[in-house]
A and B are shown apart, each in its own frame.
Chain A
Amino acid sequence: MKVIYTDSLVIGGGLAGLRVAIASMQRGFDTIVLSLIPAKRSHSAAAQGGMQASLGACIKGEGDDEDVHFGDTVKGSDWGCDQDVARMFVNTSPKAIRQLAAWGVPWSRVKGGNRDVIINGEKVTITEKNEAEGLITARDFGGTKKWRTCFTSDGTGHTMLYAMDNKAIQMGIPVHERKEAIALIHEDGICYGAIVRDLITGELMAYVAKATTIATGGYGRLYSVSTNAVISEGIGNAIALETGIATLGNMEAVQFHPTAIVPVGILTTEGCRGDGGLLLDKDGYRFMPDYEPDKKELASRDVVSRRMTEHMRKGKGVSSRYGDHLWLDITLLGRKHIEKNLREVKEICEYFLGIDPVEEYIPVRPTQHYSMGGIRTNATGESPTLKGLFSAGEAACWDMHGFNRLGGNSVAETVVAGMIVGEFVADYCEANSLNVSTTTIQHFMKQEEKKITDLLVRDFGENPFHLKAEMQKIMMDKVGIFRNGEDLAQAVEELKVLNQRAKKIALRNRISSSNPELVEAIRVPKMIKLAQCVAYGAMLRTESRGAHAREDYPERNDRDWLKRTLTTWKDDAADLPEVTYEELNVMKMEMPPGSRGYGTDNTVHHPDTARREKEIEEIKKANPGADRYEMHELLNPTPIPEKFKGRNERIGRGFK
């Protein structure tokens, strides 16, 4: 049995995983990163538009600060987020972006003087302050009060990931590539690493560690059309689920991005609309102002996706052999702007659609994009139920996004969570010794060996590729943008059947080394379990919140549903996960539930909301001299690691 020991094992080499690895290495702990692919190829690289940090340097960002960012994030989450975590996040994001600037990201900078921009379909001249020249600039994104999304053209994730991986290489952090974690090793409620399969040789190894961090990204590939990379299959989430101890949070919270190209589902950044692009229907008519007169194309993603779907259902979509779509018009931005700030979008249009977006409209439709749900963690990033297991980034339900993530808050989360959780991982490594018996390691190793042997010797059975396609179709058709009880119940029943069939997979290519069919056969049963967590959670949640939109329960129901869904899979023979709920405490909220300002407000309020509002009013009245920092302390003191407690400086405002 091959066993590799380390202090801090990080599964996933994207932005979040690398940042956690850097933090534990900086604190002197032996660290190994496992990755399916070379780290620089991770899906983080596909983030185009930018990272939210309230630097307030560009003129349209003036007046921005942590509080405004906090408000946007909480509203965007439809009050489903953990406000302590959102607080930690908004306070740390400016530091994270400045650190990345020092590590090499060529953030686009403010240029003093006049420049022409497109706002609400009109050309407008704005004047940047000369004293801000050279500081990091920002663009507009959906659901934000200020221009807060910092960027490098539309290759933001790429430049961030390259800087982060370069830093990891500088520090000598080993990245073990083409390795897949297929099970966690745990004993008495403590996690000690993972059983790992080498994707080239097929060898199974045990990576034994004090702390294990899962940073494997989202589970978008449970759907047949997704903007996600093909590796975003949620396997990190699934191995946590399969412990029967770790919980997954809010798996039904799945975001659909308004503008992926048709039919292949590749993303065109929200920056297209942030920079002034418009959505048009089959008549070339700009329809968003009719639905959302205030934010129009720049309403929150879940809202725009639903409005687009509604509009297509009215027969206003453009028909094509691949079904209806709408148009994204960026022609009004002009060649110079597109070739500088939207060049990835331009390349994608040229190669995959054969069009020039400077001249022609882009065919788009809402497409699965982001997983708000994931491994449930405390604010420290640790699983509340399985000690020593941490998670960060999209794989986690750290829970700063609740039921809808704002554009630009995803890459921001990866690096901020990486910083914060990384410190707690290091604390954990410092405080704990590695104390696991080899019998336990061997038990998990044998278990995985047996599963693989069973697959290799079975003569007849199910085809893993077909099972996956069936699952993806169920999710697409029945657990999509708009959901209803009948479809969801059907999806749950169909997934139960698939879960049984997945126990009888047989291979045509029966070799144990480099074998893509075997990889699929290992993953697909895990994916079906995750899909069931999404579908079942969605069926049980009889309200609409953020991206979870129930046609049969259109109202947000704080009275009954201001709570987080927790799923565990304790019994391997079962076809359904166990579901429990974690209440959100309104009386602790800095920002009690209110209206997001889209459509009509039909919220069923929580009985504590009015009480908390009154309490906040009284606190404010009793402390008239309190500045915003003191007020935040009074309303909801949040534990932030000492390292990141400092106030953030802004141009023209200092540390106020």
Chain B
Amino acid sequence: MVTYEVTEAPGMTIFIALNEIREQQDPSIQFDFVCRAGICGSCAMVVNGSPTLACRTLTSKYEHGEIKLLPLPGFELIGDLSVNTGKFMRAMSERVESWIHDQHADQVNYDKLEERMDPDVADQIYELERCVECGCCVSACATKRMRPDFLSAVGFMRLARFALDPRDKRTDDEFYEIMGDDDGVFGCMTLLGCEDYCPKDLPHQTQIAYLRRKMALIR
């Protein structure tokens, strides 16, 4: 653990503070920021014990002025505060087959009117699609700690999103194949760290419960 001191400025975020440290004190320090606006999900780290997006965390939030940063647990460490969430998320997407399953999707004639969709359903899908793959839910998950291959909330949210989407023609049986075991939705101990720490306030609790019930009812 290394300690750095910086002079706080109004509106200073951890993004600003870390860059100042890199520029003025320690050019070797590793961390990941991309959008620095809370949109891309690159910068999740553990800030004073809680996983969160560092870019939008104001230093003024911690009145005592001491901020302890740790890399996000549950992911391959690259160095300092940089972890390989990208590798994990690509594997997750492959595992849940995070795409529209429709044999005819590539035969659509795009000159013609698009297939209609209930406007409310479109809005509901968007609600679940707001996940930015930051990994906070994975790092806050006690089940993941015990089961290294546990799919985690980010994967469940993705499955819930596709299960809701009428364009995805997968059946419940097919979804069961992906998540119907202890590394899937039945393994969740419902401690719900995911719900507590999701920076996008996604409804993990409801969606995990929904998927469990849906999966339990088919076999």
In the bound complex, what is the Cα–Cα distance between A340 and B41 (angstroms)?
A: 21
| Interface residue A214 (Cβ < 8 Å from any Cβ of B) | no
Number of A-B contacts (CB under 8 A): 194
Q: Is the CB of A516 within 8 A of B22?
A: yes
Give a binary string over B96-129; 1 marks a CB under 8 Å from any A CB, 0 the rest.
0111101001001111111111110011011001
In the bound complex, what is the Cα–Cα distance between A613 and B32 (angstroms)?
A: 54
The SS class assigned to the B binding surface is loop
Q: Is the CB of B113 within 8 A of A135?
A: yes
| Interface residue B191 (Cβ < 8 Å from any Cβ of A) | no
Q: Is the CB of B40 within 8 A of A41?
A: yes
| Interface residue A351 (Cβ < 8 Å from any Cβ of B) | yes
| Interface residue B209 (Cβ < 8 Å from any Cβ of A) | no
Q: Is the CB of A134 within 8 A of B89?
A: no
Binds A, one of B79-87, B140-148, B177-185: B79-87
In the bound complex, what is the Cα–Cα distance between A655 and B42 (angstroms)?
A: 44
Contact of A231 among B22, B34, B79, B110 (CB under 8 A): B34
| Chain B, Cβ-Cβ closest to A111 | B119
Give a binary string over A240-267; 1 marks a CB under 8 Å from any B CB, 0 the rest.
0000000000000000000000011011
A155-B130, A158-B130, A347-B38 known; A110 and B78 CB under 8 Å? no
For residue A649, give the distance in angstroms from its CB to the closest CB of chain B: 5
Q: Is the CB of A45 within 8 A of B113?
A: no
Binds A, one of B23-31, B66-74, B210-218: B23-31
For residue A463, give the distance in angstroms from its CB to the closest CB of chain B: 8
A110-B119, A170-B99 known; A352 and B56 CB under 8 Å? yes
Contact of A166 among B29, B38, B78, B93 (CB under 8 A): B93
Interface residues of B in 142-171 (CB under 8 A from A): 165, 167-168
Q: Is the CB of A133 within 8 A of B111?
A: no
Task: Classify chain B's interface size.
Answer: 35 or more
A109-B117, A200-B78, A516-B30 known; A99 and B110 CB under 8 Å? yes
| Chain A, Cβ-Cβ closest to B11 | A263
| Interface residue A508 (Cβ < 8 Å from any Cβ of B) | yes
For residue B171, give the distance in angstroms from its CB to the closest CB of chain A: 18
In the bound complex, what is the Cα–Cα distance between A514 and B76 (angstroms)?
A: 15
| Chain B, Cβ-Cβ closest to A508 | B27
Q: Is the CB of B126 within 8 A of A153?
A: yes
| Interface residue A622 (Cβ < 8 Å from any Cβ of B) | no
| Interface residue A46 (Cβ < 8 Å from any Cβ of B) | yes
Interface residues of B in 43-87 (CB under 8 A from A): 56, 58, 78-79, 82, 85-87
In the bound complex, what is the Cα–Cα distance between A94 and B113 (angstroms)?
A: 9
For residue B75, give the distance in angstroms from its CB to the closest CB of chain A: 12
A99-B110, A167-B99, A465-B27 known; A134 and B117 CB under 8 Å? yes
Contact of B114 among A37, A42, A135, A507 (CB under 8 A): A135
Most chain A beta carbons < 10 A, residue from B10, B23, B78, B108: B23
In the bound complex, what is the Cα–Cα distance between A489 and B28 (angstroms)?
A: 36
In the bound complex, what is the Cα–Cα distance between A393 and B30 (angstroms)?
A: 29
A229-B40, A352-B11, A516-B27 known; A166 and B99 CB under 8 Å? yes
Tally A residues with Cβ within 8 Å of B. 76
| Chain A, Cβ-Cβ closest to B56 | A351
| Chain A, Cβ-Cβ closest to B104 | A102
Q: Is the CB of A108 within 8 A of B122?
A: yes
A37-B32, A103-B105, A229-B40 known; A517 and B119 CB under 8 Å? no
A45-B39, A104-B99, A230-B34 known; A509 and B167 CB under 8 Å? no
Q: Is the CB of B116 within 8 A of A133?
A: yes
| Chain A, Cβ-Cβ closest to B120 | A111
For residue B186, give the distance in angstroms from its CB to the closest CB of chain A: 25
| Interface residue A648 (Cβ < 8 Å from any Cβ of B) | yes
| Interface residue B192 (Cβ < 8 Å from any Cβ of A) | no
Q: Is the CB of B11 within 8 A of A102?
A: no
A106-B122, A516-B29 known; A158 and B105 CB under 8 Å? no
| Interface residue A647 (Cβ < 8 Å from any Cβ of B) | yes
| Interface residue A484 (Cβ < 8 Å from any Cβ of B) | no
In the bound complex, what is the Cα–Cα distance between A59 and B169 (angstroms)?
A: 31
Which residues in A have their C-beta under 8 angstroms from that of B118? 109, 134
Contact of B113 among A109, A158, A647, A649 (CB under 8 A): A649
Contact of B100 among A103, A511, A649 (CB under 8 A): A103
Q: Is the CB of A95 within 8 A of B105?
A: no
| Interface residue A533 (Cβ < 8 Å from any Cβ of B) | no
Which residues in A have their C-beta under 8 angstroms from that of B35? 41, 43, 45-46, 229-230
Interface residues of A in 509-555 (CB under 8 A from B): 509, 511, 514-517
| Interface residue B37 (Cβ < 8 Å from any Cβ of A) | yes
A153-B126, A178-B86 known; A37 and B13 CB under 8 Å? no
In the bound complex, what is the Cα–Cα distance between A655 and B129 (angstroms)?
A: 33
A166-B98, A170-B99 known; A230 and B105 CB under 8 Å? no
3 closest residue pairs by CB, A with B: A134-B116, A38-B86, A517-B27
Binding site for A on B (CB under 8 A): 10-11, 13, 22-23, 27-30, 32-42, 56, 58, 78-79, 82, 85-87, 89-90, 93-94, 97-100, 102, 105, 108-119, 122-123, 125-126, 129-130, 132-133, 165, 167-168
Binding site for B on A (CB under 8 A): 37-38, 40-43, 45-46, 94-99, 101-104, 106-111, 133-137, 152-153, 155, 158-159, 162, 165-167, 169-170, 175, 177-178, 200, 229-231, 263-264, 266-267, 321, 340, 344, 347-348, 351-352, 354, 465, 469, 507-509, 511, 514-517, 646-651, 655
Q: Would you mind naming 11 contact pairs between A and B with Cβ atoms under 8 Å apart?
A: A38-B85, A40-B41, A104-B168, A106-B165, A133-B116, A153-B123, A155-B129, A230-B36, A347-B38, A465-B27, A517-B28
Additional 16 contacts, C-beta under 8 A, given A43-B35, A106-B165, A347-B38 = A37-B42, A38-B86, A99-B110, A101-B114, A104-B167, A106-B129, A155-B126, A167-B99, A169-B94, A351-B38, A352-B58, A469-B23, A507-B27, A516-B27, A649-B111, A649-B113
